[in-house]
Structure 1
Amino acid sequence: MRTSSAHPTGPIGSSGPTGTAASSAPSPAGFVREFHRAFGLETGSVPTEVPPTLAAHRHDLLAEEVAEVAEVAVDGPLDKIAHELADVVYIAYGTALVHGIDLDQVIAEIHRANMTKLGPDGTPRVRADGKVLKGDHYVAPDVSAVLRGQGWDPAGGRPAES
Structure 2
Amino acid sequence: MIYSLNEIYASGGQLPIVTLTIENADIGTLRFVLAYEDMKLDGETYHASAFTIQQPERSDSGFSDLSFSICGVNGECYQYIKQALQSSQPTLITMTEWHPETKQAAEEITLTVTGGQLDRQTANFTASFCDMLNCEFPRLKYTAYNAPGLKYIK
TM tier, smaller: under 0.3
Q: TM-score, normalised by structure 1?
A: 0.20
Does 1 or 2 have the higher relative contact order (CA < 8 Å, sep 6+)? 1
Q: TM-score, normalised by structure 2?
A: 0.21
Query: Which protein is richer in helix relative to its size?
Result: 1
Query: Which protein is richer in strand relative to its size?
Result: 2
